[in-house]
Chains A and B, each alone.
Chain A
Amino acid sequence: MRKIALGLTLLALPLAALADDDWSLFQRVTDAGRQQPMSGTYLHQMKDTLETFHIVRLGGPGSVQERRVALDGPPREIVRNGEALTCFAPDKRSLLAAKISAMRLFPALMSDDVADISQSYTLRKLGPDRVAQRDCNWIEVRARDQQRYTERICADQSTSLPLKMMTLSPRNGDVIEQYTFTQIDLTPSRDKSQLKPQYKLSNQLRGPAQPPQSADGAASHTDVAGLPSGFKMIRSIQRTLPGGNSTQLVRHMVYSDGLVMLSLFVEPIPQDMPSALRRVQSVNLHGAINMATNSQGDQMLTLVGDMPEPTLAALVRGLHIVPRP
C-alpha cells in the first residue's frame, strides 16, 4: 500500500510540473537571468559580428554585484552594483562602445511585467537541449501580432537561468541576434577582487537609486495613437539629445510591451533639413535595435527599439501625435 502511495506521489510530481503556469516559469527565467550568481563566458552574435564576454555575478536578490568584460574588440567593462550600472574603458572610443554594449545585459532579459507580456505574446515549450555542458529546456515567446521579434530561450533545468538566447525575425525565422554560454560555473568563487574594474575612464549609466527625471504628468501634453496593442508608456520626458551640441528640446517617450522597449522622440523639424530626409526612413542600429523616422506636419518623429525594421517603418508612418492644449 505504501509502495502504491509512493508511486502515486512520484507520478504526481511531473504532473504538477506540467500544471505549472507557463508564465510563472517565464518569471523564474527572468529572475534567474537577473540574479542567479555565476561566472562564465558567453558569445554574442549579431549579423556578421561575434563577440565574447566574461561575466562574474555574486550576491543575490537586491544585492547583485556583477562585472562583465569584453574579451575581444574595444576593451570594455560593465559593472553592476545593486541598481547602479557603470561602464569602464581605457579611452573615449571604447567607452562609447561600452555604453552600447550595456544595452545588452545577457543573461538578463528586458522583460519585467509578465502580466503585460501575456497580452502581446504567447509562450510555448520546445523541448530539452544542452548548452555549456548543462541541460536546459527551450521556451519560445512569440508576438501575437507577428510584427515583433520572437525570443527563444534555453533555460537551465535546475536554476532556470537562460543559457542560450535567440532573437528571431517574425517573418522568416532568421536569427537576428544570439547569445550562448560556452562555459559556466553556478557556484562562483566569492573573491570580490574579480568585481573590480581595471580601466580608468567610466560612465555611470544608472545611479544607485536614480530619481525619475521628470513626472509622468508630461504625458498630458501629447497623445499618441497607432502603437501596437500591449505597449504602455512607462516614461515621458523633455530632454536634449546626448552627444550633440543642440539645445533643442525633444519629447522622449518610452513604451514597453513587457518584453521590449520602444522610444518615441517628437521634435520640431530642423529648418535646414532637406525634404528628401523628411520621408519615412529606417536604419539598423545594433543587433535587433532599429530606428525609423518620419515627419508629420512640422514635427519629426523617431522610433528606436527592439523591433524589426519594417515594423518600425510602418509604425512611424501610422503614428498620430495629437498635442493637447
Chain B
Amino acid sequence: MRQSISELMDSELGENAAAQVMTAIEADASLKQAWNDYHLIGDAMRANAHVSIDVRGRVSARLKEEPTVLAPRRWHGAQRVRMAGAAALAASVSFAAVVAWQQLARPAHTAVAVNAQAQQQVALLPVSSSNADAYFLAHQELTADQGLVQVSYSRRAAH
C-alpha cells in the first residue's frame, strides 16, 4: 500500500486506483502518517537541501525491521526511505542555523527538522534558537558597518 501512496504522490495512478488509495489512507492512521511523511520528505527535497550525507548503513539496518521489506519492488520503497533519512538529516543541520532561509521562507520545515532530530539524535542545537537569534542580532547591531570601527579607533587614538 505504501508503494501505492508513493505512486499517488507522483500522480502515477489512474482515477479509480487513486480513489481507492485515498480511502485506504483515510481509514488507516499508519498510512496517513506515511502520506504525511512522504510529503515532508518531498518538501525537504525541493527546498534545496544538500543531500550528500550517507546514512545508508543505518537506514538499511532500520529497513530490516520494516514489514515492507518483502513487498514487491521493495527497492523503490527502500530508496524513498533512504532519501528520507538523508533529507531529514540535512534539514536538521540547516535548522541548527538560526537563519536557514528555507526555514524563513517555509515554516513547514521545522517539522522535518524536529522529526530528523528524533530519528538521528543530532545534538546540534543545544542553544535555543530564539535565544541565539537575539545575540546574533545584537552582534549585528553593533558591527553593522565598518564605520563604527573607524570611529572607535580614531577616538582611541585621540586619547
**A83-106 interface bits toward B, Cβ cutoff 8 Å, 1 = contact, 0 = none:** 101000000011011011011010
Known interface pairs A97-B104, A100-B99; A234-B50 also in contact (CB < 8 Å): no
Of A205, A283, A305, the residue contacting B141 (CB under 8 A) is A205
- What's the Cα separation between A160 and B143 when bound, in Å? 24
> Residue B29 at the A interface, CB < 8 A?
no
Known interface pairs A48-B90, A242-B141; A283-B150 also in contact (CB < 8 Å): no
Chain B residues whose CB sits within 8 angstroms of the CB of A163 once the complex forms: none
A49→B152 contact, CB < 8 A: no
A242→B138 contact, CB < 8 A: yes
> Residue B134 at the A interface, CB < 8 A?
yes
> Residue A261 at the B interface, CB < 8 A?
yes
Known interface pairs A242-B138, A243-B137, A285-B97; A291-B104 also in contact (CB < 8 Å): no
> Residue A302 at the B interface, CB < 8 A?
yes
Q: Name 29 interchain pairs, CB-CB below 8 A, sorted by A.
A: A47-B97, A48-B48, A80-B145, A100-B136, A103-B144, A108-B146, A113-B149, A116-B153, A205-B141, A212-B155, A216-B152, A232-B156, A237-B142, A243-B133, A244-B130, A250-B138, A252-B142, A276-B126, A277-B126, A281-B126, A283-B126, A285-B99, A286-B136, A289-B136, A291-B132, A291-B136, A302-B135, A304-B138, A304-B139
Chain B residues whose CB sits within 8 angstroms of the CB of A282 once the complex forms: 127
Q: Which of B124, B148, B155, B156 has the most CB of A within 10 A?
A: B148
Chain A residues whose CB sits within 8 angstroms of the CB of B104 once the complex forms: 73-74, 93-94, 96-97
Of B125, B138, B142, the residue contacting A283 (CB under 8 A) is B125
> Residue B140 at the A interface, CB < 8 A?
yes
- What's the Cα separation between A28 and B133 when bound, in Å? 34
- What's the Cα separation between A212 and B132 when bound, in Å? 25
> Residue B105 at the A interface, CB < 8 A?
yes
A80 to B: closest C-beta gap in Å? 8
> Residue A124 at the B interface, CB < 8 A?
no
> Residue A22 at the B interface, CB < 8 A?
no
Range of interface residues on A (Cβ < 8 Å): 35 or more
Known interface pairs A48-B94, A113-B149; A304-B141 also in contact (CB < 8 Å): no
Within 8 A of B (CB), among A256-292: 256, 261, 263, 265, 276-277, 281-286, 289, 291
Which residue of the partner chain B has the closest CB to A83? B147
B98→A285 contact, CB < 8 A: yes
Q: How many positions in chain B have a CB within 8 Å of any CB in the partner chain?
A: 43
Within 8 A of A (CB), among B89-135: 90, 93-94, 96-101, 104-105, 124-127, 130, 132-135
Chain B residues whose CB sits within 8 angstroms of the CB of A254 once the complex forms: 139, 142-143
Chain A residues whose CB sits within 8 angstroms of the CB of B94 once the complex forms: 47-49
Known interface pairs A112-B153, A254-B142, A261-B149; A97-B49 also in contact (CB < 8 Å): no
Question: What 6 pairs between A and B have smallest CB-CB spacing?
Answer: A48-B50, A234-B152, A241-B134, A263-B139, A304-B139, A281-B126
> Residue A34 at the B interface, CB < 8 A?
yes
**B67-109 interface bits toward A, Cβ cutoff 8 Å, 1 = contact, 0 = none:** 0000000000000000000000010011011111100110000
> Residue A110 at the B interface, CB < 8 A?
yes
Q: Which of A34, A48, A250 has the most CB of B within 10 A?
A: A48
Which residue of the partner chain B has the closest CB to A305? B139
A284→B138 contact, CB < 8 A: no
Of B130, B135, B139, B153, the residue contacting A113 (CB under 8 A) is B153
A286→B101 contact, CB < 8 A: no
Known interface pairs A205-B144, A206-B144, A206-B145; A244-B136 also in contact (CB < 8 Å): no
Of B50, B105, B124, B148, the residue contacting A73 (CB under 8 A) is B105
Which residue of the partner chain A has the closest CB to B107? A93
B132→A235 contact, CB < 8 A: no
- What's the Cα separation between A57 and B139 when bound, in Å? 26
> Residue B151 at the A interface, CB < 8 A?
yes
B48→A49 contact, CB < 8 A: yes
Chain A residues whose CB sits within 8 angstroms of the CB of B126 once the complex forms: 276-277, 281, 283
Chain B residues whose CB sits within 8 angstroms of the CB of A265 once the complex forms: 135, 138
A44 to B: closest C-beta gap in Å? 11
> Residue A239 at the B interface, CB < 8 A?
yes
Chain A residues whose CB sits within 8 angstroms of the CB of B136 once the complex forms: 100, 285-286, 289, 291, 304
Chain A residues whose CB sits within 8 angstroms of the CB of B141 once the complex forms: 205, 242
